[in-house]
Amino acid sequence: MTDNSENLDKHTGPTESSPLPMIIKFSPQSGTDAEWNEALTRVEDYLRANRIHSRIHQNILILRILKKAAARHAESPKLNPTVIAVEEARELVDRRMAQLSGLFDIKPYRPDLAGRVAFMLADGPSRSPEYLLRDDDVPEQLSQSIRKHSLQASPDMAVSAMVPRPIDLGLIPDVAEFTWDLIDRRPLLRMFVLWAIFLLMMLGLFFIIRGRF
């Protein structure tokens, strides 16, 4: 929070020509400009995907994330700055989201994911966009909203046994099933049966046209 406050303190105030008059101090000790630019772009995309639409919030977060990433990169210069920066961004977001899951009665399997869904359902990105910028507890307004908007895919199960009871189909289906099964297992027999049906049909047709009962 201190880092963030420092930056905010240095605001000169918005003007028509410059909507974001923020002094940015970022001078990584390792990595190239191109690498850090790629990292910045990716973090920016990632924050937008998280519905952080406010430019001010975006920039504050990006700066904080990149500073942390730069510190880590100085210790392990072989790592890609993009990887480190997005890991930092994700860690920040996940931590705050997991914190939200503490509001649930039952601890979820994946606290960060459950918290993220809760944050979205509570319209967190629009109503409490500053939540990600802070390190303190969940604001009361947001926690109330999350408790109210808890997503439930299904109610608690009340299991019943729905077991099919056999239907006594009588003798005809038994014979039919036996015949069907027999014909199915023996392709030659099947062929003869089809021939016989065809023959009977032709005979029937002949009698129908020519014959008399």
| Residues that bind other proteins in the complex, under the rule CB under 8 A | 38, 41-42, 45-46, 48-51, 53, 80, 82-83, 86-87, 90, 93, 97, 108-110, 112-114, 116-117, 120-121, 123, 148-170, 172-174, 176-177, 180-181, 184, 207-213
| Tokens describing residue 206 | 């002949």
Name residue 169's amino acid.
L
* Residue 150, CA distances (Å) to 115, 123, 125, 145 in order: 10, 12, 16, 9
Residue closer to other proteins by CB (options 2, 211) is: 211
| Residue 28, helix vs strand vs coil | coil
Residue 106 region by backbone torsions, left for phi larger than 0, else alpha for psi between -120 and 50, else beta: beta
| Least distance CB 68 / other proteins (angstroms) | 14
Residue closer to other proteins by CB (options 23, 202) is: 202
Residue closer to other proteins by CB (options 9, 159) is: 159
**Residue 201 CB: number of other CB atoms within 10 A?**
10
Residues 61 and 132 sit within 8 Å (Cβ to Cβ): yes
Residue closer to other proteins by CB (options 9, 167) is: 167
| Least distance CB 108 / other proteins (angstroms) | 7
